[in-house]
Amino acid sequence: ETGVTQTPRHLVMGMTNKKSLKCEQHLGHNAMYWYKQSAKKPLELMFVYNFKEQTENNSVPSRFSPECPNSSHLFLHLHTLQPEDSALYLCASSPYPGQLYEQYFGPGTRLTVT
């Protein structure tokens, strides 16, 4: 596998469920990101990890819990979500967090909360 992969690609969950999104990058990068993409809204940065340490939490509700066990893997644990959390969740990576470095995006997980 090359690039940034995300699983599952589609997820439907009820408001009381607990699920996790997984992201893996095969690029040797040190920074990983979670974004939320909602229809007709700007792409929202949620979390940033640099060398496995969280360096940015963009006021994300606690029902979203990220985990970065190593520089290649990033998880987003979900619990007691709301219907308005339905969106495309994109993972990205870059060599280091910074403007000079292109971010490489995965294909996203389409999440529907019922």
Residues that bind other proteins (CB under 8 A): 4, 40-43, 45, 48, 55-56, 90-92, 97-100, 102-108
Of all helices (H) and strands (E), which one includes residue 74? strand 73-79
Overall residue count recorded for the chain in this entry: 114
CB of 19 to other proteins, least distance (A): 20
Cβ 94 to other proteins, closest distance in Å?
A: 10
Considering the complex, state which of residue 16 and residue 53 has its C-beta at the smaller distance from other proteins: 53
Phi–psi pair at 84, nearest 5 degrees = -70, -5
Residue 33 in tokens = 């990101």
DSSP 80: S
CB of 15 to other proteins, least distance (A): 26
